Structure 1
Amino acid sequence: MKFGKEFISQMVPEWQEAYMDYNNLKILLKEIIRFRQRTKPLVSTPSGLKRKPTLYRAFSGLIQRNIKSPNSGAGGDMEDQVVLVRAMQSDQGSSSSDHHQVKYRTNFLMSAEEGGEYELLYFRRLDDELNKVNKFYREKVEEVLKEANQLTKQMDALIAFRIKAENPNIDVESFDHKGEMRRLASEVAASTAASRASTPSGAKTPGSTRESGYMNVIEEFLLNNGGNLDDSSADIDVIELESTKSSIREEKPDSIKGTKPTPLQILNHVKLNNTLETPCSTVKGILKIPMNRELNLQGLKKVEGQLKQTFIEFYQKLRLLKSYSFLNLLAFSKIMKKYDKTTSRSAARAYLKMVDDSYLGSSDEVTRLMERVEATFIKHFSNSNRRKGIKILRPKSKKEKHRVTFSIGFFTGCATALLVALILIIHARHILNKKGSSQYMETMFPLYSLFGFVVLHMVMYGINIYLWRRYQVNHPFIFGIKQGTELGYREVFLLSSGLAVLAFSSVLANLNMEMDLRTKEYKSITELVPLGLFCLVLVITFCPFDIIYRSSRFFLLRSAFHCISAPLYKVTLPDFFLADQLTSQVQAIRSLEFYICYYGWGDYIHRRNTCKNFHVYQTFFYIVSVFPYWSRFLQCLRQLYEEKDPMQGYNGLKYFSTILAIVMRTAYSMSNGPHWQVLAAITSAIAAILSTYWDLVIDWGLLQRKSKNRWLRDKLLISHKSVYFGAMILNVLLRFAWLQTVLNFQVSFLHREALISIVASLEIIRRGIWNFFRLENEHLNNVGKFRAFRSVPLPFNCDEDEDKDE
């Protein structure tokens, strides 16, 4: 793979605009090549010379000696120097070593030559790219340094919290921290002296080894704290801290005073944040009931888990920053080597020296901070087990397994064969023309159509994942999925094909038992086949064992529970995204209600469908139809309450209009009255128009008149604009699929249940198309704001004036 493609593939997707524009610089180099080809044609090789001309160049020797004159700079002798690089201060009075205000400029000394303007433009663009990358990297490093200071305070509070949890009876105010340190140090000194006395001279003892370890801790402590012996932010043991104190107490007995609270007194300055909101905390917040935010010793594990996740995310930020620095440095090196090769000059050495001296090449804050984070995480969150800690901090990317691809092909082939067999059996035995076929379609077809809806939705989601990966949409980051646990499109296709095989096998088993004379009399047992498949799917979904992608299953169940419990939980993108998916599965949710009615009320024994005759069933038929939209409506109200964003209120009105439309259409389907038909048509038209406008303008970000791409966005991931216009037209057409229900279209060769299932499948396909463009727009918004990190709430709220305490 060429470096240009590899460079793009290794980029952080949200930072693409902040990387060095390697391709544009290559275009400028090609302009230089084309100019030289026009002005200086290539010398043709003599016909008798078959070898390359480079093989006849003078031999430069096996040992090369670089001879420099005393006055030569980084670029060689003045007569051979091509560029003169320098750093300029944007603000007067700034120190020359201050990278914050430095901008780099290159003077091209050969601009008077023919075609020199091309090379001059190249260096101007190259300087702009260096300044852009340098500025971005510096800003991000400053951000992580500020966050590191916050994490230091959080660790101080956690350590004090642990001490208090292990010794609940300790009084924070009267605890003599220094006395306790001296007592522990004296015990260690006594044990060390005893071990030395019992050991022959010249022999190494554990005490001597520990003493040398103490010296290293002393040096680290003094460097990190600037001589502040009482700084509780130092990450060392209690005994090591006292050893550090005693080693320099003779030099500075009373000259140093602490500037931070002692480890236990810091508990007076912190409170627990309400980071993991529960329904109880939400209700208390609405009713203005004061919540206890004081430290609760029982919440230690929860606090440790939150802070552990914060450290993991922070370490990922540092890794991305380090990768950003490395890739850009490599890109500058590659492009300058290409320049030297293209122009036969020697400018790379001088320019790359300037790059190495810049903040991008000389700053080591990220590397040192990574080492410190690793040491802290290993010690405090992995029980000093380095292998375990590094495994958590550096999760390996999932490897594509050949058995997954093989299994997809196998299950897809089986599902196709079963489908063909089912069609042939129905056609050969004329099942649709037999007596009782209508009853079969009204009872068994809704039971099995549930699995068809789920399989179709999974197939569309698998296609979405494939397209997101192809166009570098960082969907795991957007959804907040833990790195290394996200499902690829192959895994989704595997699950969907496996479920399809089970569903088709169940249908064929049901038909064979119905047609076989030996099993025809076991009618009730025959009807239990779809229920058995449904129970199997439920068992797999809720299985607590680490099989069949447990992390993904639990992630889905957690988001589904948040949708059901809306608006009691804080709304996140996975929650409302799943709620939007459920709005396209109304017919599948109705099938779930039919399962409960058909098997719960015993209709399967008599093989008849009497559910619609019960008022309870009719009432719940309305409820389950509007439930996904109602959940989404409540989520919009929660976001409106928290974010004070009026757009969330307008979005809630859109869902409320859809709720009215569904109620009217359901009422019309149940009664077939002409007045219900008129109301259903009016409310459905209003809801469809509002939803279509919201899809195209808000969710997709399209239909922008002033955009450089007419009626589209300024930035598009797909180069073919016709794809967007085709998706908009298809979205409008599929949005009006409700016309079949209102106008009561009938197809002679299709049963009413089959027609309803086809319309429901079209809505699922529309939702699959919506998914791609919705996440594309979210990704572009993240790119515009350079958001590549997941924000993790901190467990402690530290007082701002804690540093004033002495």
Structure 2
Amino acid sequence: MFGGHVTISTNSPFLRRSSSRPVVSEPGSTERPIDVDEVFSLPIEASEMKTGDTSKHGAAIMPSPIFLWRFKVLLFSLWGFICCKIGIDSVLRMNADLRDLFLYEAFLYYNPLLLVTMMVWLWGINLWVFAQSSVNYAKIFDLDQTHLTHRETWTCATWMTIVVPSSMTAYLYLYSHGEVSWAASQPVILYAVVLMVLIFPFDIFYLSSRYYLLKTLWRIAFPIQPITFSDFFVADILTSMAKVFSDLERSVCRMVHRQVATIAWFEADSICGSHSAAIPLVLVLPYVWRFFQCLRQYKDTRERTCLLNALKYSTAVPVIFLSALKYHVFPDQWTNIYRPLWLLSSVANSLYSFYWDVTRDWDLSVFSRIFKFKTPHLCSNVLYGRQWVYYWAIGSNLVLRCTWTYKLSAHLRHNYLTVFTITALEMLRRFQWIFFRVENEWNKMTLKPSLQVSMNDIPHEEDRLLPPMNNDHDV
């Protein structure tokens, strides 16, 4: 997702490995490395001047980049239409009584990977905006030269967008035509391929980036070493994907117990059913990781804000477990006792998280920063001078914080379309949160030295009292 630390010789003519976008530079040359994309984007006249008549004929038959891009868009749109057509026809072939159960099961298998694909697309947009602005995200995350750019991130997202819906379409088609065993194998194959791509040890499929991501996830799960910005940044994103982890757990559980393409899992008391105790445990896991990260930071820095941040993540625990109690208590107890407690804990978590986003993560204050756009060091590096963006970010963040906690309600668990919509909205909230969080970190890295320099420029009291010494004497 970000990039890894792979040692590359400076004398090598290729600064990028085979799995990355090649950047070519001659050994010992002091000129800027030449990007291959820039070479292909040069005008045809420039290449003709260098290579003569031979390259003139080669350049004439080579299609333009705009034509290739339009052709790819056309193929992608045609593929999307075919998948939608086959999927809709397959659903209509099924019995109306079992159609909802079948769609719920199919949605559960592919919903997590679809949301992950969406997050990769959004992360590519984040990188693109940072590349257009003065925010050096590579320095913030301590990335090397092999980190993924926004173009490569979008390439990964494009392949994910093709593979996941294709597997889902095959699942719908095979099941509706009576090939139950072949249909059941589709999500199993997809999950196995995704796992193999992540852990593949060879230098393909962006090895350094995959290694960096896996190493960061390991540091999040076991916060033994000092916490870096990448560690708690990715951990914060994982809290927004708690529902994705919950659906992954239920999907893998059904695959392990061979309940794919069956309705045995729909029994509430089954090991993979809706009453499973593993669901709240997986939902709370990202918040527990973030909680222990804050404790580790407090151990290293002794800053009280780390304890207050840990308290924020601990407020999500009662929201999750009180919601899960609906399946394990009598209806009267839930209505009279646990439901009011759940509502109270939800409000506390939403307001606390909203306050922390605005005042700590974003370092925005309604009265001290938003309206001071004339002061250069107080405004955003990404969205300079656009006040409406700040109003929108604060207002939408408050609303989406409330809907995110409401999503954890037990009675919405089977309404998969509502849950999917709210989860997608939460990922959009996290997407806009990334802009302000990263630029705030960049401001901390760049403003502290500038503030120190400005303080050194202020004349001291003795400098104002004593006249400057003049070493030039008249002869």
Correspondence list, 1:474-623, <5 A? 474-482=136-144, 484-516=145-177, 520=178, 522-566=179-223, 568-604=224-260, 606-610=262-266, 612-614=268-270, 618-623=276-281
Correspondence list, 1:355-374, <5 A? none
TM-superposed deviation, 1:668: 3.5
Name the SS for the 1:438 alignment partner.
Answer: helix
Correspondence list, 1:721-800, <5 A? 721-737=387-403, 738-739=405-406, 742=409, 752-786=415-449
Aligned-partner residue type, residue 731 of structure 1: N
Alignment counterpart, residue 667 of structure 1, candidates 312, 325, 344: 325
Cα distance in 1, alignment partners of residues 437 and 75 from structure 2? 34
Q: Do the aligned partners of 1:408 and 1:490 also contact (CA within 8 Å) in 2?
A: no
Q: Do the aligned partners of 1:571 and 1:639 also contact (CA within 8 Å) in 2?
A: yes
Cα distance in 2, alignment partners of residues 455 and 697 from structure 1? 30
Cα distance in 1, alignment partners of residues 365 and 126 from structure 2? 22
Q: Do the aligned partners of 2:124 and 2:154 also contact (CA within 8 Å) in 1?
A: yes
Cα distance in 1, alignment partners of residues 277 and 410 from structure 2? 24
Correspondence list, 1:444-455, <5 A? 444-455=106-117
Change (3 A) 1:706 1:417: same
Match of 2:126 in 1: 464
Change (3 A) 1:634 1:763: same
Cα distance in 1, alignment partners of residues 296 and 311 from structure 2? 13
TM-superposed deviation, 1:388: 11
Q: Do the aligned partners of 1:664 and 1:676 also contact (CA within 8 Å) in 2?
A: yes
Cα distance in 2, alignment partners of residues 397 and 563 from structure 1? 37
Cα distance in 2, alignment partners of residues 744 and 411 from structure 1? 43
Cα distance in 2, alignment partners of residues 741 and 584 from structure 1? 12
Cα distance in 2, alignment partners of residues 530 and 640 from structure 1? 42
Change (3 A) 1:752 1:419: farther
Query: Scaled by the length of structure 1, what TM-score is found?
Result: 0.45
Aligned-partner residue type, residue 536 of structure 1: V
Correspondence list, 1:593-742, <5 A? 593-604=249-260, 606-610=262-266, 612-614=268-270, 618-668=276-326, 673-674=334-335, 675-707=337-369, 709-710=371-372, 714-717=378-381, 718=383, 719-737=385-403, 738-739=405-406, 742=409
1:648-683 CA distance string (max 9 Å, x none): 110000000122222223334676632332222111
Q: Do the aligned partners of 2:312 and 2:352 also contact (CA within 8 Å) in 1?
A: yes
Aligned-partner residue type, residue 739 of structure 1: Y
1:73-118 CA distance string (max 9 Å, x none): xxxxxxxxxxxxxxxxxxxxxxxxxxxxxxxxxxxxxxxxxxxxxx
Change (3 A) 1:415 1:651: farther
Correspondence list, 1:107-186, <5 A? none
TM-superposed deviation, 1:542: 1.0
Cα distance in 2, alignment partners of residues 761 and 702 from structure 1? 25
What stretches of structure 2 of length at least 5 have no aligned partner?
Answer: 11-24, 42-64, 451-475
1:142-171 CA distance string (max 9 Å, x none): xxxxxxxxxxxxxxxxxxxxxxxxxxxxxx
TM-superposed deviation, 1:572: 0.5
Name the SS for the 1:706 alignment partner.
Answer: coil
TM-superposed deviation, 1:390: 6.4
Q: Do the aligned partners of 2:105 and 2:261 also contact (CA within 8 Å) in 1?
A: no
TM-superposed deviation, 1:420: 3.4
Aligned-partner residue type, residue 569 of structure 1: Q
Aligned-partner residue type, residue 690 of structure 1: Y
Aligned-partner residue type, residue 634 of structure 1: F
Change (3 A) 1:733 1:601: same
Cα distance in 2, alignment partners of residues 536 and 708 from structure 1? 47
Aligned-partner residue type, residue 780 of structure 1: N
Aligned-partner residue type, residue 627 of structure 1: L
1:590-646 CA distance string (max 9 Å, x none): 122112210111212745315752468722212111111100000000000110011
TM-superposed deviation, 1:439: 1.9
Cα distance in 1, alignment partners of residues 185 and 348 from structure 2? 43
Name the SS for the 2:260 alignment partner.
Answer: helix
Cα distance in 2, alignment partners of residues 552 and 622 from structure 1? 31
Q: Does 1:430 align with 2:118?
A: no
TM-superposed deviation, 1:437: 1.2
Aligned-partner residue type, residue 586 of structure 1: A
Cα distance in 1, alignment partners of residues 248 and 441 from structure 2? 33
Aligned-partner residue type, residue 760 of structure 1: T
TM-superposed deviation, 1:752: 1.1
1:159-200 CA distance string (max 9 Å, x none): xxxxxxxxxxxxxxxxxxxxxxxxxxxxxxxxxxxxxxxxxx
Correspondence list, 1:5-20, <5 A? none
Correspondence list, 1:167-206, <5 A? none
What stretches of structure 1 of length at least 5 have no aligned partner?
Answer: 1-304, 313-386, 788-806
Change (3 A) 1:586 1:743: closer
Number of equivalences: 396
TM-superposed deviation, 1:411: 6.4
Q: Do the aligned partners of 2:117 and 2:157 also contact (CA within 8 Å) in 1?
A: yes
Change (3 A) 1:723 1:508: same
TM-superposed deviation, 1:577: 0.7
Query: Scaled by the length of structure 2, what TM-score is found?
Result: 0.74
Cα distance in 1, alignment partners of residues 292 and 27 from structure 2? 41
TM-superposed deviation, 1:486: 1.6
Change (3 A) 1:708 1:606: closer
Aligned CA-pair RMSD: 3.4
Cα distance in 2, alignment partners of residues 647 and 597 from structure 1? 39
1:40-96 CA distance string (max 9 Å, x none): xxxxxxxxxxxxxxxxxxxxxxxxxxxxxxxxxxxxxxxxxxxxxxxxxxxxxxxxx
Correspondence list, 1:147-296, <5 A? none
TM-superposed deviation, 1:405: 9.3
Cα distance in 1, alignment partners of residues 226 and 407 from structure 2? 37
Aligned-partner residue type, residue 173 of structure 2: N
Change (3 A) 1:389 1:576: farther
TM-superposed deviation, 1:587: 1.5
Cα distance in 1, alignment partners of residues 32 and 288 from structure 2? 39
1:268-295 CA distance string (max 9 Å, x none): xxxxxxxxxxxxxxxxxxxxxxxxxxxx
Change (3 A) 1:406 1:780: farther
Match of 1:54 in 2: none
TM-superposed deviation, 1:762: 0.9
Change (3 A) 1:439 1:772: same
